[in-house]
A and B are shown apart, each in its own frame.
Chain A
């Protein structure tokens, strides 16, 4: 199908452009900061060098030598390269996952200082928590929304709408704080911090992970499911008002088929894509939720890098990986839409 092929290609190009823009911003800011850091380091080294010079030299010789040493170091650090060259180099490095080394001496518990290693150490836990939450919330939300649409206008439906609106206005991580306050502090049911991760193996390990995951998972699901259900409900009710649903009913199609066939299949593309998109949008919130629960994922790593270590390479790495995940997810949502909806065309409005 040429129309949908064109759609897919254009979307992919969009994704690459977005990634490029963000990486360029990263590189721009990084090069600037890296220069300043390098200047500091050079100043230190020059001072040490000056201290180690033989004392019998004249003042003139000394400053001559120091000047030469400074120039040598600046050359090594590439300080005099044109700015665009630095930015370009950094852009390319970032694209190819050469994200540099962490400033931290602990490596945040990873096996070496490379940013990629450190991120590899933390990323799986974020993915574990986040995708589990996403799957539960999307399935539950769509189910609830569908039921609500079928009883539209009743008390149950209204209660769900209010729940959806209320939770949609809550910051996820704040709810996490309340959850800790209630379930860890007051009731003592769960450990307040997910960190350190269990060290046992086998069954005990999984049990430990599950116990630690319970509260953050419940928080993410609680905050997102109402909005998901509400959005689903609205899409389904608006489709239920469409003429073709009436026509389907007139044709004597069983109500079950009208709902789960005609309605849901039509509603699926916007429901699924908007679910994915809103989950992507909540990446930030989820990372902060990790901080609140001390869940040792990307958010936790980010905060540690910002707060405790001021570790530019790691922060840049996290920003890049997050962007990459976002762009891929966004593209996936687009593709899924194109796959689910036979009508897609380039520039076609998504019916949301």
Chain B
């Protein structure tokens, strides 16, 4: 697929219209994904990561709605799709997703096989032995025995379930695979093994991938690009190794400092004071300013611009002068 941009998201805003007010879960988010590349998305809980993923599938749950922006997926405008064509043209064929909280992602009363074959059957009209062959191929890929095919979800371990879900996501060879915290429901050992598998898979396959996690350390290894989200914004976007080595945004800096490292004393572990804001009523100006050490006059008044700093896009007033 080369370096062709397959996913181009521009000024995307998705809001939830709840009885308590409008939750601005995603505001003016833009990024691109090139074919075969991977993008990591990191941020604290509730900053809109899953919302972004749902938006790409055109599956924002009510009372949510995409209110603005465009999602161009290999020439297809996702935001304009109606429900039926989203189902027939977009979902699973172009974009597939491994949902967060993998324990309840499989329907309890169908066998693994039944659920794996479903997208083949309903979207590609492939059934019977042919479908099983394809499933077998992907089960192999995630290191699972075909014997699991006839089991029910409750007869599987968490790790097995997660692998099956990953295999199912790869089944139709979509342009983009979204993995929304694929390992949160698992224990550390299994988590490490799955991440390892994913790294290998990524090398084998040429799908674009979006990794969503609140754990930055994983992303540095697995993703080419990195997007750091805060309160519905992407505050920093660029090459993941670069960002990891030299973060620009104060929030990213804090985030990276908060990663526990083996050789660092536990006492010195940093944490970010305060809590992320209510998205119904985000702070004026920069949404991070109430928690930011470097905040100054402009921060609580004007929304910061995006600045290109050494090839990294940063949404912060600190870089205002330097950029101009």
- Roughly how many angstroms separate A257 CA and B121 CA in the complex, as a whole number? 12
A56 at the interface (CB under 8 A from B): no
Q: Within 8 Å of chain B (Cβ to Cβ): is A51? A: no
Report the stretch among A200-208, A227-235, A244-252, A304-312 that lies at the interface. A244-252
Residue of B nearest to A343 (CB): B154
For residue A262, CB closer than 8 A to chain B, the reply is yes
Which of B59, B99, B104, B108 has the most chain A CB atoms inside 10 A of its CB?
B108
Known: A243-B104, A266-B107, A343-B108. A250 touches B99 (CB 8 A): yes
Whether A251 lies near B92 (C-beta < 8 A) is yes
Let me know if A246 and B61 touch, CB within 8 A.
Answer: yes
Minimum CB–CB distance from A3 to chain B (whole Å) comes to: 10
A254 to B86, CA, bound (A): 11
Residues of chain A contacted by B93 (CB below 8 angstroms): 252
Whether the pair B107, A244 counts as a contact (CB closer than 8 A) is yes
Set of chain B residues within 8 Å of A244, measured between Cβ atoms:
104-108
Quick one: which of A252, A262, A265, A341 contacts B88, CB cutoff 8 A? Answer: A252
| A347 close to B (CB within 8 Å) | no
- A253 near B: Cβ within 8 Å? yes
* B92, A250: Cβ atoms closer than 8 Å: yes
Q: Are B122 and A253 in contact, CB atoms less than 8 angstroms apart?
A: yes
Verify if A82 is at the interface (C-beta below 8 Å from B). no
Interface: A242 (CB within 8 A): yes
Neighbour of B91 across the interface among A250, A266, A340, CB < 8 A:
A250
B260 → chain A closest CB, angstroms: 30
CB distance from A34 to the nearest CB of B (A): 52
Distance from B210 Cβ to chain A, minimum over Cβ atoms (Å): 14
Residue A342 interfacial (CB < 8 Å): yes
- A261 CA / B118 CA spacing, docked (Å): 11
B101 interfacial by beta-carbon distance below 8 Å: yes
Whole-angstrom distance between the alpha carbons of A342 and B152 in the complex? 7
Interface string of B46-67 (1 = CB under 8 A from A): 0000000000010101000000
A253 contacts B119, C-beta separation under 8 Å: yes
Interface centre among A251, A261, A269, A343 (most CB of B within 10 A): A251
Tell whether, in the assembled complex, residue A247 and residue B122 are in contact, meaning their CB atoms are under 8 Å apart.
Answer: no
B: number of interface residues (CB 8 Å)? 26
In the complex the two chains form, is B118's CB within 8 Å of A251's CB?
yes
CA distance A247 to B106 in the complex (A): 8
Q: Are B122 and A252 within 8 A (Cβ)?
A: yes
Q: Which of A253, A342, A343 contacts B118 (CB 8 A)?
A: A253
Residues of B within 8 A of A343 (CB): 108-109, 152, 154
Q: Any chain A CB within 8 A of the CB of B110?
A: yes
Q: Which residue of A lies closest to B62 (CB)?
A: A153
Q: B99 is contacted by which of A243, A252, A255, A261 (Cβ under 8 Å)? A: A243
Residues of A contacting B118 in the complex (Cβ-Cβ under 8 angstroms): 248, 251, 253
In the bound complex, do residue B91 and residue A342 qualify as a contact, i.e. CB atoms below 8 Å apart? no
Given A265-B110, A266-B107, A342-B152: A250 in contact with B59 (beta carbons within 8 A): yes
B105 touches A247 (CB 8 A): yes
Interface string of A253-289 (1 = CB under 8 A from B): 1110100011001101100000000000000000000
Given the complex, which residues of A lie within 8 Å of B96, measured CB to CB?
250-251
Distance to closest chain B CB from A345 (angstroms): 9
The answer for the CA separation of A20 and B152 in the assembled complex, in Å, is 37
In angstroms, how far is the closest chain B Cβ from the Cβ of A65?
78
Q: How far is the CA of A292 from the CA of B255 in the complex (A)?
A: 74
Give every chain B residue within 8 A of A247 (Cβ-Cβ): 99, 105-106
**Contact (Cβ within 8 A) B99 A254:** no
Q: Closest 9 A-B residue pairs measured CB to CB?
A: A252-B91, A243-B104, A342-B152, A244-B107, A252-B92, A262-B107, A251-B119, A265-B109, A247-B105
6 further A-B pairs in the complex, CB-CB below 8 A; given A244-B106, A250-B91, A252-B92: A251-B118, A253-B118, A269-B109, A341-B108, A343-B109, A343-B154
Chain A residues with a Cβ under 8 A of chain B: 242-255, 257, 261-262, 265-266, 268-269, 340-343
Q: Name B's A-contacting residues (CB within 8 A).
A: 57, 59, 61, 87-88, 91-93, 96-97, 99, 101, 104-110, 118-119, 122-123, 152, 154, 168
